[in-house]
C-alpha cells in the first residue's frame, strides 16, 4: 500500500484588518472577531475563485452568508418561476428576506405584561418610519400575541403599519400615565418626527397620514382616553378593540368622561378620511366623542357595548363647524345606558342600517325608555334604515329617533317616518276584546306630541263590523290654566254602537281608550308635528 503524505497545515492569527490572502489550505484565525478562515488556493489548483473562505463558528453571521434565498412555493406542487426565465431565478440574502417585515420584539419589547415596553415600541416606530423619508426603510411592524404594558403614549407616525395577532391576542395596555408631555392617551397619531399635539407639522415634519392599525386591542386599567386621532388623514383601524376599565354599574352617569376615540383637528391640518371597520368599543363612558371639525369619517361593521353613550358628534360646542360627513353604517349597539348616537348642531352626517337593541333604557331593558336612541339637533343629517328593538309602546314614551324639528329625515323600522317637524308612525295594530268599561289602547307622552291625529281602522272578523276614522287630539297645556284636553273622533262605521273611543289625560300621559261590544283588530297610525 502506497504511503500518502499529508502536508503540514500552516496557520496565521491576527486582527481582521490584517488578514492577508491565505495560501491554499492555510488557516487564518481572526482574534478580534473570533472567526476562522481558510485559503482557497489558486485557480490552477481547481479553486472556483481566489480568496479566503470563512469556516462557520458560533460567531459567524450565518444570515449574511446565506446569499441565495429563492422563493420556490413548492407547496403548489411545482417550483414557482420568480425570474424572467426558469434558469434565472430571483435571489436575495436570507437577511434581506427576514427584513421584509419587522417584529416589535426585534426592538426590545417583550409583551409579557410586566416589562414597560413603551420605549421599545416608540423606538421601533421611529426607526422604521421616521429616521429617513426614504420609503425603503418602512416595514410593517408586527405585534406577536402578548400584553404590551406601556406607561406613556405610543406615538404613531405617518405611513406606520401596525399588525397584531388579533384583538384578543395582541394587547397594548396602559397602567400608569406618568408622562403628561404626551397627554393621557394609550395611543395617539404623531408627525414624522414623532411630535404630537400643537407641535405636529413643525420643524418641517410631515403630519400624520396613511396609517393602518389592525388586529389589536387598546386598553387601560386607569380612567384614560384610549386613542387620539390628531391632525391626521387617511387612517384605518381594522379589527381593533377599544376596551376601557369601567363596569356597567359605574356607567349610570358621564362622570368618568372616558372615551375610546377622540379627535383633534385644525384649519391647517383637518382630520379626514378615517375608518373604523369591524371594531369594538366597550366599558367606556363614550365609544367615540368629538366636537372637532372632522371630515369623511366612517364607522362600519362595528360593535358598541357596555357604554354610557356610544357616538357623540358635536354634542358640546362644535369647533370650526364640528363633525361633517361622518357615516355610521351597519353597526350593532347593545347595552348602552343612554343615547346610541347624538348628532348636535352640525351637518351632513348619516346613520344607516344600524341595529339598536338594549339602548337608552338605563341597562334595564324594555319598558324603561330613558332617552331617545338617536338624537339629532342639527339640520341636514339623516337616519336611513336604522332598526330598533324598542317597542311601539316605549317609542311613545321616548322616541326611537328625535329630530328636534330640524331639517332632517328618518326612516325607522319600516313603520315610522320623520321629515323635519312631521312625524308619522304607521302599521301599528292592537287586539281589542269586548269591554264594558274604558280600556287603554295606547298612550302618548306629551313630551313627544301635544297634539296628534290617529288614523285608524277596526274590524270584527266574526260580524264583519268595520269602523274607519280619524281621531284628532289636543293635549291639555299645563302652562295654560284655561286649557283642557280636546278631541274629535271623525269616523264611518256600519254599526255605530259597536265601539266607542275616548281620550283622557293624566299628567303628561294621554291615553286613547275604548269600550266595545265587538272584538277584533284595531290598526292605526299616528301623525303629528314637532313641538
For residues 48 and 148, state if they share a domain. no
* Domain endpoint, select from 245, 263, 279: 245
382 with 448, same domain? no
pLDDT at residue 512 tops 50:
yes
d(CA 249, CA 231): 35
In this structure, is residue 307 part of a structural domain? yes
Q: How confident is the model at residue 6 (pLDDT cuts 50, 70, 90)?
A: low
Query: Residue 80: inside a domain, yes or no?
Result: no
Among the candidates 221, 245, 269, a domain finishes at 245
Residues 361 and 432 in one domain: no
At 333-382, the pLDDT tens digits run 999 999 999 999 999 999 999 999 999 999 999 999 999 999 999 999 99
Same domain? For 114 and 238 the reply is: yes
C-beta of residue 455 within 8 angstroms of C-beta of residue 470: yes
399 and 432 co-located in one domain: no
CATH code for the domain in which residue 185 is found = 2.160.20.10
CB 484 within 8 Å of CB 476: yes
Instruction: Supply the Cα-derived Rg of the chain in whole angstroms.
Output: 36
Lookup: cell for 478: 299645563
Is residue 282 domain-resident? no
Q: What does the block give as the cell for 458?
A: 277596526
Interatomic CA distance for residues 186 and 183, integer angstroms: 9
Could you tell me if residue 32 is inside a domain?
A: yes
Question: What is the model's pLDDT at position 42?
Answer: 85
Domain shared by 294 and 373, yes or no = yes
Rounded mean pLDDT, 375-394: 91
End of a domain among 380, 398, 420?
A: 420
Please write the tens of the pLDDT for every residue from 219-240.
998 889 999 999 999 999 999 9
Does 158 fall in a domain? yes
Q: Flag whether 265 is in a domain.
A: no
Q: Give CA–CA dist 454/509, Å, rounded.
A: 16
As a whole number of angstroms, the distance between CA 415 and CA 426 comes to 5
Residue 441, domain CATH? 2.60.40.1680
131 plus 60 within the same structural domain: no
What percent of the chain stands above pLDDT 70?
94
Q: How far apart are CA 265 and CA 326, in angstroms?
A: 15
Residue 270 falls inside a structural domain: no
| Domain membership of residue 328 as a residue range | 290-420
Residue 240 sits in the same domain as residue 115: yes
Same-domain status, 310 and 402? yes
Q: What φ, ψ does residue 174 adopt, rounded to 5°?
A: -95, 130
**Residue 314 near residue 323, CB atoms below 8 Å:** yes
Is the same domain home to 437 and 484? yes
DSSP letter assigned to residue 395: H
Q: Rounded distance, CA 365 to CA 221, Å?
A: 28
Q: Which three cell numbers stand for residue 28?
A: 487564518
Residues 403 and 458 reside in one and the same domain:
no
If asked whether residues 401 and 335 sit together in one domain, one would say yes
Q: What is the pTM of this model?
A: 0.76
The number of domains in the chain is: 4
- Residue 177 — very low, low, confident or very high, per pLDDT cuts 50/70/90? low
Residue whose C-alpha is closest to residue 230's, from 157, 282, 174: 157
3-state secondary structure of 405: coil
Confidence of residue 85 (pLDDT cuts 50, 70, 90): confident
Distance from C-alpha of 230 to C-alpha of 199, rounded to nearest angstrom? 11
Measured in whole angstroms, how far is the alpha carbon of residue 66 from the centre of its chain? 43
Q: Band of the pLDDT at 300, cuts 50, 70, 90?
A: very high
For 433-519, list the strands marked E by DSSP: 435-445, 451-459, 466-474, 486-493, 499-506, 509-516
| Residue 86, in any domain of the structure | no
Burial 146-173 (b: 16+ CB within 10 A, else e): bbbbbebbbbbbbbbbbbbbebebbbbb
Amino acid at each position: 500500500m502506497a504511503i500518502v503524505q499529508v502536508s503540514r497545515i500552516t496557520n496565521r492569527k491576527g486582527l481582521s484588518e490584517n488578514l492577508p490572502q491565505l495560501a491554499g489550505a492555510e488557516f487564518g484565525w481572526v482574534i478580534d472577531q473570533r472567526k476562522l478562515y481558510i485559503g482557497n488556493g489558486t485557480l490552477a489548483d481547481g479553486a472556483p475563485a481566489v480568496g479566503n473562505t470563512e469556516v462557520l463558528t458560533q460567531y459567524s453571521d450565518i444570515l449574511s452568508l446565506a446569499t441565495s434565498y429563492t422563493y420556490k412555493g413548492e407547496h403548489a406542487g411545482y417550483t414557482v418561476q420568480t425570474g424572467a426565465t426558469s434558469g434565472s431565478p430571483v435571489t436575495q440574502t436570507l437577511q434581506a428576506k427576514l427584513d421584509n417585515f419587522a417584529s416589535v420584539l426585534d426592538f426590545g419589547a417583550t409583551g409579557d405584561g410586566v416589562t414597560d415596553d413603551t420605549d421599545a415600541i416608540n423606538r421601533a416606530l421611529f426607526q422604521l418610519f421616521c429616521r429617513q423619508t426614504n420609503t425603503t426603510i418602512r416595514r410593517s411592524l408586527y405585534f406577536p400575541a402578548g400584553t404590551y404594558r406601556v406607561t406613556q403614549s405610543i406615538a404613531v407616525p405617518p405611513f406606520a403599519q401596525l399588525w397584531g395577532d388579533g384583538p384578543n391576542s395582541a394587547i397594548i395596555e396602559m397602567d400608569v400615565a406618568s408622562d403628561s408631555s404626551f397627554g393621557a392617551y394609550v395611543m395617539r397619531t404623531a408627525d414624522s418626527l414623532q411630535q404630537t399635539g400643537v407641535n405636529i407639522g413643525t420643524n418641517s415634519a410631515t403630519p400624520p397620514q396613511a396609517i393602518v392599525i389592525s388586529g389589536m386591542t387598546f386598553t387601560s386599567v386607569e380612567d384614560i382616553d384610549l386613542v387620539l386621532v390628531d391632525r391626521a388623514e387617511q387612517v384605518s383601524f381594522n379589527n381593533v378593540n377599544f376596551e376601557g376599565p369601567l363596569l356597567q354599574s359605574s356607567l349610570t352617569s358621564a362622570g368618568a368622561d372616558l372615551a375610546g376615540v377622540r379627535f383633534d383637528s385644525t384649519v391647517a391640518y383637518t382630520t379626514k378620511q378615517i375608518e373604523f371597520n369591524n371594531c369594538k368599543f366597550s366599558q367606556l363612558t363614550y365609544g367615540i366623542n368629538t366636537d372637532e371639525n372632522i371630515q369623511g369619517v366612517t364607522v362600519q361593521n362595528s360593535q358598541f357595548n357596555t357604554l354610557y353613550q356610544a357616538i357623540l358628534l358635536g354634542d358640546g360646542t362644535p369647533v370650526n363647524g364640528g363633525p361633517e360627513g361622518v357615516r355610521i353604517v351597519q353597526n350593532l349597539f347593545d347595552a348602552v345606558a343612554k343615547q346610541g348616537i347624538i348628532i348636535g348642531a352640525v351637518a351632513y352626517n348619516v346613520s344607516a342600517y344600524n341595529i339598536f337593541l338594549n339602548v337608552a333604557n338605563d341597562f334595564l331593558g324594555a319598558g324603561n325608555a330613558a332617552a331617545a336612541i338617536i338624537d339629532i339637533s342639527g339640520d341636514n343629517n339623516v337616519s336611513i334604515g336604522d332598526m330598533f328593538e324598542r317597542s311601539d309602546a316605549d317609542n311613545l314614551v321616548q322616541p326611537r329617533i328625535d329630530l328636534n324639528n330640524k331639517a332632517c329625515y328618518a326612516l325607522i323600522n319600516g313603520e315610522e317616518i320623520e321629515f323635519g317637524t312631521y312625524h308619522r308612525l304607521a302599521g301599528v295594530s292592537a287586539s281589542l276584546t269586548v269591554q264594558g268599561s274604558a280600556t287603554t289602547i295606547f298612550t302618548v307622552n306629551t313630551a313627544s306630541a301635544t297634539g296628534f291625529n290617529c288614523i285608524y281602522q277596526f274590524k270584527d272578523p266574526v260580524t264583519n263590523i268595520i269602523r274607519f276614522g280619524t281621531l284628532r287630539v289636543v293635549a291639555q297645556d299645563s302652562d295654560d290654566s284655561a286649557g283642557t284636553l280636546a278631541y274629535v273622533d271623525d269616523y264611518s262605521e256600519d254599526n255605530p254602537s259597536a265601539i266607542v273611543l275616548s281620550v283622557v289625560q293624566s299628567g303628561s300621559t294621554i291615553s286613547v281608550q275604548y269600550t266595545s261590544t265587538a272584538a277584533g283588530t284595531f290598526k292605526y297610525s299616528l301623525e303629528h308635528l314637532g313641538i
